[in-house]
């Protein structure tokens, strides 16, 4: 990407419109400042009209027209939805659900990712497109598939079962190793042959947890194999063209740490609810994840809605200004592109009520006016292209195995993993701090604060990695349900956390004591005394502070945890500067007070911003985004900045 | 029907009782004023005891006994529940659900409506009954099947799939026409052969909306074919005997506008919840629908419960007086018959806890006393038989395609179509106005007020039809989500509503802005200023009044619609009298104020009645029904009428 | 069981641990006072490692080690979870759900109870174990299977269908008798051959109620056949060894009255929610059931959790003291054993978060300290072994057919059967009264008070049995929804209750009038005047007091029952002492007042205890258990006893 401008545009589906509309489209794109479109995402059926019969004429024409209009193309491999003739000729490619239901053609993603037939047809199509358009002057990048795993993240067919067995043989070598990892001595689940293993289909009661996790891991890998099969073709035929696929924010089925290694640049599809006041913070967290997945490099916001989506029970439009504000947020947090789904709102099909840059009502509309205005503003920000965000001093541990394991059934309490992350991200975001996400075994040396909430599954290497933070002067913050299991989901015995973290934190956990919901009430009702005094929710446990100071205790009359430690801190040894290891055994309502203490210990000065205000720094600019309705006054770099409601200042 | 008396009676299932009870039944029927029973609805298994082996003896006997007792028979064709021997010999007639589950024998309606085998057996049985009882003196009418589609409205078997393809070929002619209508350019759904099309079974995500709608249309037609196959036999064998089947009020799967053309008189099964204070208004709406389906002609209330039903979570009995009141309501709104399910409450089976005219506890019971009293009262109203209701000046547009499309997934907001209708019907009902339901292309010339709420799908002819109302002096009231789609579910671009309605109303809609439910709160909170001032719910949108006066505006701080038009009116041209075109962009809590303004413009004087009071006029009589607990005083035709609680006055 | 000590211990799964842990286990068991463990419940896969290939070495070793440690063994037949190799060789043993889904291997209980293959393999394994360990000195009892029916209570496969037909032929003899019992004249369900009958799989609407009930009965019997097949082997090979299996408290699928006849001693697995304030009362009811199932003989609490379970949404630990308190409760109410699931908390598998006697954190923990302390206390209570509880003067009728029928769909109102029982049990438990559960045809002569709430299904013998209570001086209390149906689920016509109970009670029921829930409100709102004055919920009906005094009437303006009898009492004839027959037509909030009146009539002096206090008497000791947080003062046998919060006094 020898990129000059911030990408601006969206998915473009000209095949849904008569060719008479195409010329108007290009004109309107120019008017709106569009410089990039994603083409052909769902065009397989109109490109390969029957087995090995091709119709590229229409795509040739629109590629040329776009080129003539100065608009570049992020060209899809068009493999996201196999056509009807292929499904009818090879019904074995249809996905199968856990209860055995075969999922029919008629929506999209009607394929089993492990299907050899699907992969053969998909790579043939990819090769055709690469050969035909690899040197087209409009081509800017390859867009492989689309939102991998969005609807069919796991397949339970016989073909997938065989692939799963192969994956297990490669992982474990012997069936005895599998037995050991899965703990099959429990419930008489011992296997004597890989051939006896099946996916975790519908079972009489809770299936084996490690089988479940391995099937999640396998399913993510099976999708990745699909992606890589197409990538291999593209690398061979068009070696110079960058390749990507669109991620979907916090998406549990697919391990983006692994996937991010295989894309030339990271892309995200982001659809927070315009009506939810918590959305700006959630969106900021998504942006930070995408930047982190790319190792800090610029990324592309590949899809967002200009206004409403169509898949919630009730779909609110974006109020005036929000489209701009959330777009600038992406740029401020590292995006080099602001793309939309989609250019022209569809007139038919299942997404016709999803907003487009050109609405049903045409161009004399609020939405199109905002689209035009943003195009102009992004052009003025071209100088940011390629620049980096201000380095983050705070890291948040994110781990797909922990996510999957924490949210399994038959656990101490049903917890929402992303909510655990968001609670902490939000505490820093409200102070204008960027946060990097990191996998548990990442190099953490750049960070002054490392927070691990519900990092449920930790390898020994990860435990050592985290435990080393205080010793080099950093603040390690471990929140509940971290380090409970090893990667085979075996419990870390002897007080949880593993020996390394128990030592680093100076604590051990005797017993989990999550409050229960009885008739809608938390039992016991939890409160904290000391640091972060006030109510607490979600979790409690019997914690022993062996070598740590107790900063807060529980108040919960009659409960096990009453008067027991809730927040502790072990200062690192005398030679370690201001390093410290914090343990947090609950979710305090007054998290800001706790965050303030942690940041103070880390020497980070970052006062709370007014409610709804976001500050982010990139490429020498400071973005002040006011998500609130009311005007806000903010002190930025010593100067007072006044920002009207739902508006932004770029300094 | 050379009918002399209001039909009174109910379903009669003598086969559930020893023959000793039959004589008592006839005696009690006479005592209760019963003059009609519906016989043999679920008797297939006892009439055709094995393939082509018949036992008509018991039916002969009860037909004769009823005749001797002076009681007529609405004789069922007995095809509603195929017997066990037939299902075991031909398991292919069993219905199949969308996920592939085959539905087993053991309840009722265990057949796929498209099954050729089922139809062959059903029509053979029909012929046998027609030949045997066609000239029996007790026979008053044929009752074909029963509640078509009640449990199995759609079937997803291979046989239905083939029938669906045939239906599509007849509808579209070419697969390219189908592609155009279904918008298959979206999501790579293009078909190259009708053979590739299947019903909308379980899919990875939202299926094609037009495929869904066509399958709804096909499924209604498949049921109608079943019905018509039996009708054809009856018309051939017993040409003079009237034919009907029982409708089920507002029943989404079956398009009663189409079906009503094929019955000799309209029948309804109506079971509003006795415990719900909203039921009288809902019941009134059902009565108005039945009268409208028959083009104003008298209809038959074919089933209601004498007291409780048995299929809700909790089944309240009818409080004293309610059975009479709701029965009189049916007569007042056009019914020539008041029939019950069922005569004698069953002692066994899945409906044994559904009330009967003869309760479990026998005849010394409140229920039987009310049954007797109503029989006598209906006899006194025999003069009404054949008479018409006072002509309605208000019409409410009802359209099955709109209903189905509005309630699909992936729409702007999940709305309840019947609730949209009821909101408006209730506004008129509370003023003692009869309302006719009309399909969107109906002749509207008889109406002063035509209301179209959520008429989501409108053909061009329908749009022209509605748009013509103001020009001839009528009030056209269009409420939100009307005219959004054409009959193929393609969006009417350029401001929704279609050019005809945009012109007539003088408005266009830029953008939908439905409030969302976030943590149980409406966001944004909506209120109206101006006409119908006060809270509003359910919907909002950005409306432009081009040639219309703005009667109310939204108040919703921070939202798109704040200060924007919510209710508008365009007066028709100077030559058009008092005609007007109203547009309503939300659901005002103060709908009565808006209705008052509309009626005033239409020159209809109809003040609000006291709460719970209903007034209806038919055949020269005025029915004043007091659904409230307390005595109410009402001015009727200039005179004050006092009606005790849960009582009626017929003037 | 020549039992000397109260059994103390738990499930022991040494196969989940390296053998190095086994020696520590035995030492810790001795330290904790453990004298009994349940072994090999889920060991099939590790004992029969392939078809007819056996590995008993590890079980030999641990049996010997336990014996050397002085610990006895309740040895499982290991048949609860067939191993993978068996399922793969014979997939036909896998269970099938009502919709046809085959339930896969990978959790536990992956077998169809009617599978001949499963039974053949299971009995062969049983024989192997019996032959090998029948004379092992550690063997105390056989533990057959495990929690029969816990996950797979009903199977809908073809093999089960055939077994069901066989069961029906044995029950009914002729298909015409089946037709009569099932009421197949309804909905054309008549059968002409047993071969046409299938299990009640997924159907279009409500299936036949008697078919459902018969399938419930058959399914309970099919599980019992599995159990008895193993018992037959054990009786043959080891005639002197007692045999049991673990029940699961109030478990609807399995009729424990029938099963209790087939165990040498009754065992229970009991897991009330530690966080629910209602749990102590529920647990007391479970204890009373177990004692009653064994005819008053001591029983074994076979499984409880030392602290938290792992299968609720949120799993609260037991607060300090609760483990002891609930254990003592079991002893006080007749248990001769207090066993836990499980000895050592698992490190892997689906139950790793279920607490164990040896927690993840080891022995320096609250849980292990409480485990040790209880072991010592139980040793001091050895004198109670074999003793009986103070005889109960109150009996509560419990009937599985009533339970199943009451909770079917398509009934007057959805009611919770166990809640009906608990309401009454609690009223007596709060006064320190033991309650015996009895089947409806039991000998009732020992009881002064017999309560029958929602005894929905009663045979004539049962009705006569209950009706005889007042005549011999007892108080019969019949609460609503009793005696509505006969054992074929045919209505008892003529006023419900059956002639015998109508006569005994002096009442008949005209009509059910359950309040409905409309928008979350009870409609009508019910209250009582007279005895038990105050609010009432759940039920109402039109009751006629023919020969009974009316003790309370309904207040429910506008409803059928307003002013009508709600509680009645018919005193028995002059020669019958203080006998009386009470009828209760609703659920009074003030049930204590009603219970007081009943007990007074019965001559039972039992004042209300302070909230949370339980008193139970056994073997000359009086247990005073304080489940409340606060200290309570109680008068026991004339003396004041002060018990701290969550503590117990044994006098």
Is C24 designated active site?
A: no
pLDDT for res C1: 47
Query: Given CB atoms, is B535 within the 8 Å cutoff of chain A?
Result: no
Burial class for C68, CB neighbours closer than 10 Å (0-12, 13-18, 19+): exposed
Tokens 């000059």 sit on residue: A4
Q: What does the pLDDT look like over A566-606, one tens digit per residue?
A: 999 999 876 556 899 999 999 999 999 999 999 999 999 99
Examine the domain organization and report whether B51 and B195 are in the same domain: yes
Query: Does a structural domain hold residue B383?
Result: no
Q: Name the nearest CA neighbour of C212 among B106, B205, B98.
A: B106
Helix (H) and strand (E) counts for chain B?
Answer: 17, 30
Q: How many CA atoms does the CB half-sphere of C351 hold within 13 Å?
A: 22
Among the candidates B231, B264, B297, a domain finishes at B264
Q: How confident is the model at residue C320 (pLDDT cuts 50, 70, 90)?
A: very high
Query: Across residues A534-538, what is the average pLDDT?
Result: 97
Q: What does the pLDDT look like over C262-296, one tens digit per residue?
A: 999 999 999 999 999 999 999 999 999 999 999 99
Query: Across residues B532-537, what is the average pLDDT?
Result: 97
Q: What does the pLDDT look like over B270-279, one tens digit per residue?
A: 999 999 999 9
CATH code assigned at C399: 3.40.50.880
Dihedral sign for Cα B412, B413, B416, B421, please: negative
Q: Name the nearest CA neighbour of B615 among B397, B346, B426, B432.
A: B432
Examine the domain organization and report whether B39 and B88 are in the same domain: yes
Query: Does a structural domain hold residue B343?
Result: no
For A497, nearest residue in chain C (alpha carbons) = C361
Strands of the C549-555 sheet, one edge to the other? C435-438, C394-397, C449-453, C475-479, C580-584, C565-571, C549-555, C526-530, C534-537, C587-588
Q: What does the pLDDT look like over A110-154, one tens digit per residue?
A: 999 999 999 999 999 999 999 999 999 999 999 999 999 999 999
Query: Does a structural domain hold residue B454?
Result: yes
Query: Across residues C457-479, what is the average pLDDT?
Result: 97
Is A364 designated active site?
A: no
Instruction: Let me know how long chain C is.
Output: 651
The DSSP string of C145-177 is SSSTTSS-S---SHHHHHHHHHHHHHHHSSHHH
Confirm if C422 and C430 have CB atoms less than 8 A apart.
no
Determine if the peptide bond prior to C365 is cis (ω within 30°).
no
- Which residues are within 8 A (CB) of A563 and not within 5 positions of it... i.e. 6 or more apart? A553, A554, A555
Domain count, chain B: 3
Q: Name the nearest CA neighbour of A524 among A564, A553, A551, A560.
A: A560
Q: What does the pLDDT look like over C504-539, one tens digit per residue?
A: 999 999 999 999 988 888 999 999 999 999 999 999
Checking if the pLDDT of A2 tops 80, the result is no
Cβ distance C13 to A518 less than 8 Å, yes or no, reads no
Q: What does the pLDDT look like over C174-195, one tens digit per residue?
A: 999 999 999 999 999 999 999 9
Cβ distance B317 to C491 less than 8 Å, yes or no, reads no
pLDDT for res C638: 86
- Which residues are within 8 A (CB) of B20 and not within 5 positions of it... i.e. 6 or more apart? none
Tokens 């993840």 sit on residue: C360
Dihedral in degrees, nearest 10, Cα atoms C21, C27, C30, C34: 0
Q: What does the pLDDT look like over B493-529, one tens digit per residue?
A: 999 999 999 999 999 999 999 999 888 889 999 999 9
pLDDT for res A112: 98
Burial class for A378, CB neighbours closer than 10 Å (0-12, 13-18, 19+): buried
Min distance B386 CA to chain A CA atoms (Å): 47
Q: How confident is the model at residue B576 (pLDDT cuts 50, 70, 90)?
A: low
Q: What is the mean pLDDT of chain B?
A: 97
Q: How many CA atoms does the CB half-sphere of C207 hold within 13 Å?
A: 20
Dihedral in degrees, nearest 10, Cα atoms C596, C597, C600, C606: 0
| From C303, C370, C377, C541, active-site residue | C303
For A556, nearest residue in chain C (alpha carbons) = C319
* Structure tokens belonging to residue C39: 């072994």
CATH code assigned at B98: 3.20.20.80
Query: Does a structural domain hold residue A346?
Result: no
Examine the domain organization and report whether A525 and A570 are in the same domain: yes
Cβ distance C414 to B313 less than 8 Å, yes or no, reads yes
Helix (H) and strand (E) counts for chain C?
Answer: 17, 30
Query: Across residues C428-444, what is the average pLDDT?
Result: 98
Cβ distance B188 to A83 less than 8 Å, yes or no, reads yes
Per CB-CB distance under 8 Å, the chain B contacts of A317 are 511-513, 560
Q: Tell me which residue in B188, B512, B558 faces A42 most closely, judged by beta carbons.
A: B188
Q: Name the nearest CA neighbour of B400 among B294, B293, B501.
A: B293
The DSSP string of B86-121 is HHHH-GGGS-B-TTSPBPPSSSS--S-TT-HHHHHH
Query: Does a structural domain hold residue B116?
Result: yes
Rounded to whole angstroms, how far apart are CA atoms A426 and A422? 6
Query: Across residues C140-153, what is the average pLDDT?
Result: 98
Burial readout B61-73 (b: 16 or more C-beta within 10 A, e: otherwise): ebbebbbebebbb
The DSSP string of A90-142 is -GGGS-B-TTSPBPPSSSS--S-TT-HHHHHHHHHHHHHHHHHHTT-TTEEEE
Interface of B with A in 258-317 (CB under 8 A): none
Rounded to whole angstroms, how far apart are CA atoms C552 and A451? 64
Cβ distance A88 to B511 less than 8 Å, yes or no, reads no
- CA A282 from chain center: how many Å? 11
Which chains neighbour C (Cβ–Cβ under 8 Å, 3 or more pairs)? A, B
Examine the domain organization and report whether B561 and B487 are in the same domain: yes
Q: How many CA atoms does the CB half-sphere of B176 hold within 13 Å?
A: 2
C617: containing domain = 613-650
Q: Name the nearest CA neighbour of A46 among A74, A85, A90, A10.
A: A85
pLDDT for res B1: 47
pLDDT for res B578: 84
- Three-point CA angle C181, C186, C187, nearest 5°: 135
Examine the domain organization and report whether B557 and B592 are in the same domain: yes
Instruction: Let me know how long chain B is.
Output: 651
Per CB-CB distance under 8 Å, the chain B contacts of A15 are 185
Confirm if B227 and B259 have CB atoms less than 8 A apart.
yes
Q: Tell me which residue in B106, B275, B353 faces C410 most closely, judged by beta carbons.
A: B353
Checking if the pLDDT of A1 tops 70, the result is no
Q: How confident is the model at residue C572 (pLDDT cuts 50, 70, 90)?
A: confident
What's the distance, Cα to Cα, between the start and end of chain B in Å?
A: 27
Q: Tell me which residue in C187, C411, C559 faces B108 most closely, judged by beta carbons.
A: C187
Examine the domain organization and report whether A548 and A645 are in the same domain: no
Examine the domain organization and report whether B586 and B449 are in the same domain: yes
Q: Name the nearest CA neighbour of A209 among A245, A181, A174.
A: A181
Dihedral sign for Cα B489, B494, B500, B504, please: positive
Q: Tell me which residue in B190, B208, B412 faces A315 most closely, judged by beta carbons.
A: B412
Examine the domain organization and report whether C531 and C625 are in the same domain: no
* Structure tokens belonging to residue B351: 């409906």
Q: What does the pLDDT look like over A13-43, one tens digit per residue?
A: 999 999 999 999 999 999 999 999 999 999 9
Examine the domain organization and report whether A73 and A220 are in the same domain: yes
Q: Tell me which residue in C88, C317, C345 faces A560 most closely, judged by beta carbons.
A: C317
Rounded to whole angstroms, how far apart are CA atoms A341 and C58? 63
Examine the domain organization and report whether C127 and C177 are in the same domain: yes
Which chains neighbour A (Cβ–Cβ under 8 Å, 3 or more pairs)? B, C
User: What would you report as the CA-atom Rg of chain A, rounded to the nearest whole angstrom?
Assistant: 26
Examine the domain organization and report whether B62 and B118 are in the same domain: yes
Min distance B491 CA to chain A CA atoms (Å): 5
Burial readout A312-337 (b: 16 or more C-beta within 10 A, e: otherwise): bebbbbbbbbbbbbbbbbbbbbbbbb
Min distance C99 CA to chain B CA atoms (Å): 6
Query: Given CB atoms, is B100 within the 8 Å cutoff of chain A?
Result: yes
Confirm if A493 and C347 have CB atoms less than 8 A apart.
yes
What's this model's pTM, rounded to 2 decimal places? 0.97
Per CB-CB distance under 8 Å, the chain B contacts of A43 are 188
Checking if the pLDDT of A285 tops 60, the result is yes
Task: Map residue B410 onto helix, strand or coil.
Answer: coil
Helix (H) or strand (E) holding B125: helix B116-133
Mutate to test the interface with C, among B87, B89, B104 (most CBs of C within 10 A): B104
Residue C576 per-residue DSSP state:
G
Confirm if B207 and A106 have CB atoms less than 8 A apart.
yes
Rounded to whole angstroms, how far apart are CA atoms A563 and B649? 72
Confirm if A215 and A164 have CB atoms less than 8 A apart.
yes
Q: What is the mean pLDDT of chain C?
A: 97
Cβ distance B307 to C511 less than 8 Å, yes or no, reads yes
Examine the domain organization and report whether A80 and A51 are in the same domain: yes
Residue B642: CB atoms within 10 A of its CB come to 12
Interface of B with C in 210-269 (CB under 8 A): none
**Percent residues over pLDDT 90 in chain C:** 97
Mutate to test the interface with B, among C190, C204, C408 (most CBs of B within 10 A): C204
Checking if the pLDDT of B612 tops 70, the result is yes
Rounded to whole angstroms, how far apart are CA atoms C526 and C534? 9
Q: How confident is the model at residue C629 (pLDDT cuts 50, 70, 90)?
A: very high
Per CB-CB distance under 8 Å, the chain B contacts of A366 are 510-511, 542, 560
pLDDT for res A576: 53
């Amino acid at each position: 990407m020898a990129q000059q401008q911030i990408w601006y545009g969206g998915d473009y589906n000209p095949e849904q419109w008569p060719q008479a509309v195409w010329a108007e489209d290009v004109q309107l794109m120019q008017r709106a400042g569009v410089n990039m479109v994603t083409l052909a995402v769902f065009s397989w059926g109109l490109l390969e009209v029957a087995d090995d019969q091709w119709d590229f004429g229409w795509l040739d024409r629109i590629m040329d027209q776009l080129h003539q209009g100065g608009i570049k193309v992020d060209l899809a491999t068009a493999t996201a939805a196999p056509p009807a003739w292929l499904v009818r000729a090879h019904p074995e490619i249809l996905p199968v659900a856990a209860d055995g239901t075969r999922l029919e053609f008629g929506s999209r993603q009607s394929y089993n990712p492990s299907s050899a037939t699907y992969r053969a047809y998909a790579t043939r199509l990819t090769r055709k497109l690469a050969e035909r358009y690899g040197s087209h002057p409009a081509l800017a990048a390859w867009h492989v598939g689309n939102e991998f795993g969005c609807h069919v993240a796991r397949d339970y067919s016989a073909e997938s079962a065989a692939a799963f067995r192969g994956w297990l043989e490669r992982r474990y070598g012997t069936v005895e190793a599998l037995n050991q990892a899965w703990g099959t001595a429990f419930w008489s689940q011992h296997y004597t042959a890989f051939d006896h293993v099946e996916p975790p289909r519908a079972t009489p009661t809770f299936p084996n947890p490690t089988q479940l996790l391995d099937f999640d891991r396998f399913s993510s890998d099976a999708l990745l194999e699909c992606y890589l099969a197409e990538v291999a073709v593209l690398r061979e035929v068009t070696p110079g063209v960058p390749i990507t696929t669109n991620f979907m924010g916090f998406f549990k089925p697919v391990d983006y740490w692994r996937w991010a290694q295989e894309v030339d640049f990271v892309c995200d599809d982001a659809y927070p609810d315009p009506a939810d006041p918590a959305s700006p913070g959630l969106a900021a967290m998504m942006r930070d994840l995408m930047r982190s997945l790319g190792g800090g490099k610029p990324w592309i916001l590949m899809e967002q809605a200009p206004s409403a989506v169509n898949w919630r029970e009730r779909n609110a439009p974006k109020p005036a200004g929000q489209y701009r504000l959330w777009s600038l947020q992406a740029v401020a947090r590292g995006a080099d592109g602001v793309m939309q789904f989609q250019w022209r709102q569809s007139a038919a099909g299942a997404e016709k009520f999803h907003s487009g840059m050109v609405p049903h009502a045409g161009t004399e509309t609020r939405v199109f006016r905002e689209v035009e205005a943003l195009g102009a503003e992004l052009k003025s920000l071209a100088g940011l292209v390629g620049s980096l965000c201000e380095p983050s001093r705070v890291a948040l541990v994110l781990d797909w195995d922990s996510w999957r394991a924490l949210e399994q059934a038959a656990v101490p309490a049903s917890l929402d993993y992303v909510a655990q992350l968001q609670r902490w991200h939000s505490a820093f975001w409200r102070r204008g701090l960027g946060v990097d996400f990191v996998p548990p075994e990442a190099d953490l040396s750049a960070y002054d604060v490392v927070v691990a909430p519900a990092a449920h599954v930790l390898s020994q290497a990860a435990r050592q990695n985290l435990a080393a933070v205080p010793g080099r002067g950093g603040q390690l913050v471990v929140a509940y349900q971290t380090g409970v299991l090893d990667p085979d989901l075996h419990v870390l015995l002897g007080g949880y956390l593993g020996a390394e973290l128990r030592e680093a934190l100076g604590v051990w956990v005797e017993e989990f004591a999550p409050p229960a919901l009885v008739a809608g009430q938390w039992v016991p009702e939890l409160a904290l005394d000391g640091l972060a005094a006030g109510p607490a929710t979600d979790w409690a446990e019997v914690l022993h502070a062996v070598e740590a100071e107790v900063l807060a205790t529980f108040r919960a009359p009659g409960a096990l945890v009453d008067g027991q430690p809730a927040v502790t801190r072990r200062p690192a040894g005398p030679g370690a500067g201001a390093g410290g290891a914090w343990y947090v055994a609950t979710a305090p309502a007054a998290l800001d007070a706790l965050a303030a203490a942690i940041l103070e210990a880390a020497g980070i000065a970052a006062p709370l911003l007014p409610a709804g205000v976001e500050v982010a720094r990139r490429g020498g600019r400071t973005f002040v985004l006011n998500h609130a309705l009311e005007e806000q006054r903010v002190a930025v770099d010593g100067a007072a900045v006044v920002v009207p409601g739902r508006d932004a200042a770029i300094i």
